[in-house]
Amino acid sequence: MQPPIPTGTVLQNRYRLLSMLGQGGFGRTYLAEDLGRFNERCALKEFIPSQSGAYVLDKSKELFQREAAILYQIQHPQIPQFRATFEENQRLFLVQDYVEGKTYRALLNERKAQGTAFSETEVLQLMRQLLPVLAHIHSKGIIHRDIAPDNIILRQQDHLPVLIDFGVVKEIATRVQSVETEHQPTTVGKIGYAPSEQMQSGRAYPNSDLYALAVSAVVLLTGKEPQELYDDRSLTWYWQQWAKVSPGFAQVLNRMLSYRPGDRYQSVSEVVQSLQALANPSVVTPPPPAPPSATQATDPTSRMQTLAVGRRPDSTVPSPNAPRRVAGPAIPTQTETSVWDNPWAVAGIVSGLAIVTLITTFAVVSAIQNSSNNRPEATPTPTETATPTPTPTDEPVEYSQRLNLAPGDTTSVEGTLRANEVVTYIVSAEQGQTLSAAINGEGVLLSIFAPNGDLVEGNAERVQQWRGTLNFSGEYYVELRPVRGVEQSDYRLDLNLEAAPEPEPTPTPTPSPSPTPVEPQIETEQLSFPAGAEGVEVSDTVSDRLTKRYVVNVQEGQVFSAEVLEGAATISVLYPDGEPVPDAEGVVFWGFQVPESGDYIVEVVATEETDFTLGVSATAPTEPPPE
């Protein structure tokens, strides 16, 4: 493992390291100032692979760029803005905005030192401020995977919680490691905070983030760690005895903490509705869905709500326009006798009704026969009988099945779909891969949904076939529904996944003959600093035929820098032996701590005649800040 980078080092001729903010098993985080943005502070995350070698570095670069493209999509004021990625000396770096403030872990430690923890009001406010952030990233198909008090900062500027550390560096490390260790599943998340499906299989869903948020909430409420509040034998959380919260809020948290993903809230909006109901009890909200029965699919990754067979879904949620039933006072038992209490009276009434019915039936039949005899030529009109509306006994039933489909593979699934059934097949795929789906069966149509729950691009709703390039990495859902009016239909679903195409090499254009270039004239000048000064500025003119070369004597350990202050010129820096300094060619600024004493060279060049001003300095290195 490479050692930490010394304080004061300038990376990419732009980022000057001020201090190290933290270090973990997968990387380090530095506080730096961006010399290209008026010394604005930023956070640099360095990825440290657990293995070495060309393959690990190449694979890390590929994943780094892919994850950077995902982070670039996130534009939210409570998430540090992603800036750039770069590589230097076989180290990979990710640059983000720096957030000034304290983590909720640090705030909790301060409370615990005083013998207190967070109140229900404070935790409720935190959740209401963070839930819109989760809704934003989930809408883009992004799962945070690492929500914990350590990764939530109370920003000093506006006192809003900021969500940091999306687990990108950790996920890159585990993906690289999983390839090196026979494709073991990648797991990202903190033990105790991440749910079981995330830690055991590496799969994470929107309600996996909701689970971690609820764990963070109970930790802040109780001041105790998850291991102290969770019984892994009974799979039960025992946190309420350590916190004073209202029953309604406790019910919301407990549902978010459910062991089975299907028993939790399925989206941020459901949690928001429940919290709104706590603040305004008069608002009528739908009750939570019933637990699935034994005949239902139990895969927690199903997108759709599964309904129990035989239960009318419209009976669970009252219509907003339906009259509300008001329970009246209990009716006391009547002491007066009714005619229906006399068995002889009831028997007489029934007998009378039977006699009247027989007489009426006889009269109707006679009238029909007489009418038929008088009109022998007429075509008899069939008697219309009212078809009773059948009582629905087959309510919609939804199933889901996960398919293992690797790039280059084709798979087929056969089945039978009834009028009241929906089947969803789940396929994991990567961004840039091509998915093809075709359904063979006259009574079944398919729809394809992206990891964020939206239909994929193109005509992908209730069609017989679809083919397209995937825009996101994650789980895609192929949903089969019967055509209306078809009672039952056999089908065969054919799926094919193609690997992302390799980028086509850019053809090298045939060079056209060009005139022999004229070597530029080089003028050399020795620079010396005035007495008591650490720098000097010079102005002159350069062009495509004239290069200015300045020689500066610098002592070992000094920080030597050169910068074009005015003019459309660039500089190159050379060691005393004439060898160019790496990455210091064709730049407008360069600064580094010189490894040896000698005469360093700064060359100023331009493509056309340009007036310029050059600033050169040699200063003593800054002392690292005290720990």
User: Is 146 among the catalytic positions?
Assistant: yes
CB 307 within 8 A of CB 313: yes
Interatomic CA distance for residues 209 and 259, integer angstroms: 13
- Which residue, 5, 3, 9, is CA-closest to 622? 9
- Parallel, antiparallel or unpaired: strands 230-231 and 236-237: antiparallel
Radius of gyration of the chain from Cα atoms? 37
64's tokens: 């780094």
CB 372 within 8 A of CB 379: no
Interatomic CA distance for residues 553 and 32, integer angstroms: 29
Q: Is 556 exposed, middle or buried (0-12, 13-18, 19+ CB in 10 A)?
A: exposed
* Cα→Cα distances 62→2, 57, 189, Å: 21, 9, 22
Interatomic CA distance for residues 397 and 297, integer angstroms: 9
Interatomic CA distance for residues 331 and 335, integer angstroms: 12
Name the active-site residue from 34, 146, 150, 165: 146
Any residues with CB less than 8 A from the CB of 378 and at least 6 apart, and which? Answer: none
Any residues with CB less than 8 A from the CB of 326 and at least 6 apart, and which? Answer: none
Interatomic CA distance for residues 148 and 209, integer angstroms: 10
Q: Which H or E run contains 66?
A: helix 54-73
Secondary structure of residue 178 in the 3-state scheme:
helix
Query: Which residue carries 């599964």 as its tokens?
Result: 306
CB 447 within 8 A of CB 461: yes
Interatomic CA distance for residues 217 and 219, integer angstroms: 5
- Parallel, antiparallel or unpaired: strands 444-449 and 589-593: unpaired
* Cβ-based neighbour number of residue 476 at 10 Å: 22
What backbone phi and psi angles, to 5 degrees, belong to 185? Answer: -65, 140
Angle made by CA atoms 17, 21, 25, in degrees to the nearest 5: 110
What backbone phi and psi angles, to 5 degrees, belong to 324? Answer: -85, 135
Sign, CA torsion 244/249/254/257: negative
Interatomic CA distance for residues 262 and 302, integer angstroms: 8
Interatomic CA distance for residues 163 and 149, integer angstroms: 10
CB 153 within 8 A of CB 103: yes
239's tokens: 């946190």
Query: Which residues are known to be catalytic?
Result: 146
